[in-house]
Chain A
Amino acid sequence: MKLEIHNLSVAYGETPVLKSLDVSAVSGEVLGIIGPNGCGKSTFVKTLAGIIEPAAGTIRMDGTDLLTLPKNEMAKRVGYVPQDFRQLASITVLDTVTIGRRPHVTWTLTKKDFSIVRSAMQSLAILPLAQKRLDQLSGGERQKVFIARALAQEPLVYLFDEPTSALDIRHQIAVFRLIRSLAHENGAAVLVVVHDLNFAQYYADRIVLMKKGQVVGAGTPEEVMTRDAIRAVYGVGMRSVTTDAGTYVLPEWEAALEESAGEA
């Protein structure tokens, strides 16, 4: 399956937020989306999720433009995990994950729906929380519930908007491993907005680098996350350090900021 986003533009009122983006993703691959705050990363994934209406452009999945499909059909193809969960009523974990089956069922849940809900909850280890209400959970647990909800929707494309922002390092790694296995083992296309450049470098197969609503770089992490590109986009000097455990990008701390301030 190939997802081709062409000429995608989004505006909030008069203000353009995304300016004719061209991005493609394929199944079996994790596409990391990086860029500074306010560059339009979240807007981009929300547009793909059917939450924001684009002003122009097409989102083709193997030729079919998702934007022309009924919402329900789009929902069967694209699953989204939001970044913040402020708008919540006090529903149970089980009820929340079950919402993922909405595009697939008419009224009752079948045995098959059940096993899908169960395995979604299993893969995030939240089965014991089934009857807890969302407002009784920690931020990290809540994030897992919403990931499970997207899994239960069984989409072909997954969209994650900073999926680990509320998690500690151990759970961050667990979630990114799950994200990678969705692509590599289940064969889904995964687009994930990442803030932490090291996670992006380690877990993404390909990277899209964004700045001010535009794509300024696309390719493998090594190709895109160069010292110059990072400095141009983030205004911070970064250094690649290779150890026996892998390659890391590290900031050059204060010196980096002063240097970029001089440039700006």
Chain B
Amino acid sequence: MEDSLEMLYTREWRHRWLVILGLVLVLVLAVFVSLNMGSIHLAVSDVISALFSGEGISAQTKMVVLDLRAPRIILAILAGASLAVAGTVMQALMRNPLVSPFTLGMSSAASFGAACAIVMGSLPLLALSFVQFQDAFIVLFAFIFGIGSVFLIYAISLRRGSTSATLILGGVVLGYIFQAGLMVLQYTSNNEKLREITLWLMGGMWGANWSAIWIITPIVIVSILYLLWKAWDFNALLAGDEVAQNAGVEIKKIRIRGLFFCTLASSACLAFTGIIGFIGLIGPHIGRLLIGQDNRYLIPCSALLGAVILLVSDTIGRTIIEPVEIPVGVIMYLLGGIFFMYLLMRKENQIFT
């Protein structure tokens, strides 16, 4: 008995690192497969030379790999990782396993904000000032609406008598309100923008381009690093507010800052992808099954899972019935809906109290 606890921990530690390492390998593999697949099939050697040497391949191949597929893959990875991390952290902050950017209505709010920026960008007066910084404006608007919705829901959760069910219902309803807003924009804006907003409602990776990637990459990295740094605080919150406070966690501060960075990372991505549901639930829950509740490991694990799942779903979406693309948002609704039902039916984890 004496040393079994340490052995247990060492075993768990080794297991956790193996899972993370395994997921990194899976992600790398998924990236290569995804670079190969598509309406133009490429040989592995072509992809490798397009990425590294740039010799011995046609300009078209190079363009397909570097300008079409690479940004799209990176966007899928960033979006999957940030939404899954946001879900993980929000679930810890609110001690509610059904909370995620989508179920709190934040995905819809951020997408609505981004769509507003796009529509404003097409107005003649604003267009001039917008054109140069349009991508930055889109991110900014997505963030403003995203953070507004999150703190609205958070305020509701602080009211006396609110249960975990109130929180989710409030979030779902808020999501509908912003989706209605998106539809109004769609109905009133001109034809050119109409298609873009339709895509927004379905969620997809069409918005990928290098300038978007350059904006969101640092935002996502900084946010995830901050959240990872605070992993001990999230762990402590799992044992209740009082215990966390006694363990030295400033719970108000960590809730507000945690929600801020969750929203920042996910709304930056959502600004270019539109509404992508459920990845913030699927990532963390599979992560917990694989690796347990310790957020020091769960956060990177969920990030990798989210990235892999979204990238694979997007790759399947764009290749399964070529040349027609199925938006990855639609695939996530399908997968996520089924997963959500499973979470609700699971017996050992009482979700609504």
Give the 7 A-B CB pairs with smallest separation, nearest first: A75-B248, A80-B246, A72-B248, A87-B240, A89-B238, A103-B248, A91-B293
Chain B residues closer than 8 Å to A78, beta-carbon distance:
246
B248 touching A80 by the CB < 8 A rule? no
* Residue in B97, B232, B250 whose beta carbon sits within 8 Å of that of A71 in the complex: B250
Chain B residues closer than 8 Å to A74, beta-carbon distance:
248
A138 and B236 CA atoms in complex are apart in Å by: 21
B8 touching A94 by the CB < 8 A rule? yes
A103 touching B292 by the CB < 8 A rule? no
A88 touching B242 by the CB < 8 A rule? no
Chain A residues closer than 8 Å to B247, beta-carbon distance:
75, 99-100, 102-103, 153
A71 touching B296 by the CB < 8 A rule? no
A134 and B250 CA atoms in complex are apart in Å by: 23
Measured CB to CB, the closest approach of chain B to A108, in angstroms, equals 8
A91 touching B239 by the CB < 8 A rule? yes
Check A181 for interface membership: any CB of B closer than 8 A.
no
Check B341 for interface membership: any CB of A closer than 8 A.
no
Check B294 for interface membership: any CB of A closer than 8 A.
yes
* Residue in A49, A131, A135 whose beta carbon sits within 8 Å of that of B246 in the complex: A49
* Residue in A49, A91, A127 whose beta carbon sits within 8 Å of that of B1 in the complex: A127
**Interface range on chain B: under 10, 10 to 19, 20 to 34, or 35 or more?**
20 to 34
Query: Which of A34-75 touch B at CB < 8 Å?
Result: 46, 49-51, 71-75
* Residue in A51, A73, A92, A98 whose beta carbon sits within 8 Å of that of B245 in the complex: A51
Check B320 for interface membership: any CB of A closer than 8 A.
no
Among B4, B235, B243, B349, residue most surrounded by chain A Cβ atoms (within 10 Å): B243
Check B214 for interface membership: any CB of A closer than 8 A.
no
Check B60 for interface membership: any CB of A closer than 8 A.
no
Measured CB to CB, the closest approach of chain B to A59, in angstroms, equals 14
Check B95 for interface membership: any CB of A closer than 8 A.
yes
* Residue in B239, B249, B292 whose beta carbon sits within 8 Å of that of A88 in the complex: B239
Chain A residues closer than 8 Å to B245, beta-carbon distance:
49-51, 71
Question: Total A-B residue pairs with C-beta atoms closer than 8 Å?
Answer: 113
CB closest residue in chain A, given B231: A107
* Residue in B5, B91, B249, B250 whose beta carbon sits within 8 Å of that of A127 in the complex: B5
As a 0/1 sequence over residues 219 to 257 of chain B, the CB contacts with chain A under 8 angstroms (1 = contact) are 000000000000011011011111111111110000000
Chain B residues closer than 8 Å to A146, beta-carbon distance:
239, 243
A114 touching B292 by the CB < 8 A rule? no
As a 0/1 sequence over residues 113 to 138 of chain A, the CB contacts with chain B under 8 angstroms (1 = contact) are 01001100100000100110011100
A248 and B241 CA atoms in complex are apart in Å by: 37
Chain A residues closer than 8 Å to B294, beta-carbon distance:
95
B interface residues (Cβ-Cβ under 8 A, vs A) = 1, 4-6, 8-9, 91-92, 95, 97, 232-233, 235-236, 238-250, 292-294, 296, 348-350
Chain A residues closer than 8 Å to B241, beta-carbon distance:
51, 87
B235 touching A82 by the CB < 8 A rule? no
Check A213 for interface membership: any CB of B closer than 8 A.
no
A94 and B293 CA atoms in complex are apart in Å by: 11
* Residue in A91, A102, A107 whose beta carbon sits within 8 Å of that of B248 in the complex: A102
Measured CB to CB, the closest approach of chain B to A160, in angstroms, equals 12
Among A92, A99, A130, residue most surrounded by chain B Cβ atoms (within 10 Å): A99
Chain B residues closer than 8 Å to A85, beta-carbon distance:
240
Measured CB to CB, the closest approach of chain B to A70, in angstroms, equals 8
9 A-B contacts, Cβ less than 8 Å apart? A46-B242, A50-B246, A51-B242, A80-B246, A87-B240, A92-B293, A103-B248, A114-B9, A127-B5
Check A180 for interface membership: any CB of B closer than 8 A.
no
| Residues A130 and B246 in contact in the complex (CB < 8 Å), given A92-B293, A99-B239, A102-B232 | no
Check A79 for interface membership: any CB of B closer than 8 A.
yes
Measured CB to CB, the closest approach of chain A to B158, in angstroms, equals 14
Query: Which of A133-152 touch B at CB < 8 Å?
Result: 134-136, 146, 149-150
Check A90 for interface membership: any CB of B closer than 8 A.
yes
Measured CB to CB, the closest approach of chain B to A46, in angstroms, equals 7
Chain A residues closer than 8 Å to B1, beta-carbon distance:
127
Chain A residues closer than 8 Å to B95, beta-carbon distance:
87-89
| Residues A149 and B239 in contact in the complex (CB < 8 Å), given A87-B95, A92-B293 | yes
Chain A residues closer than 8 Å to B236, beta-carbon distance:
99, 102
A72 and B232 CA atoms in complex are apart in Å by: 12
Measured CB to CB, the closest approach of chain A to B15, in angstroms, equals 12
Check A105 for interface membership: any CB of B closer than 8 A.
yes
Measured CB to CB, the closest approach of chain B to A225, in angstroms, equals 29
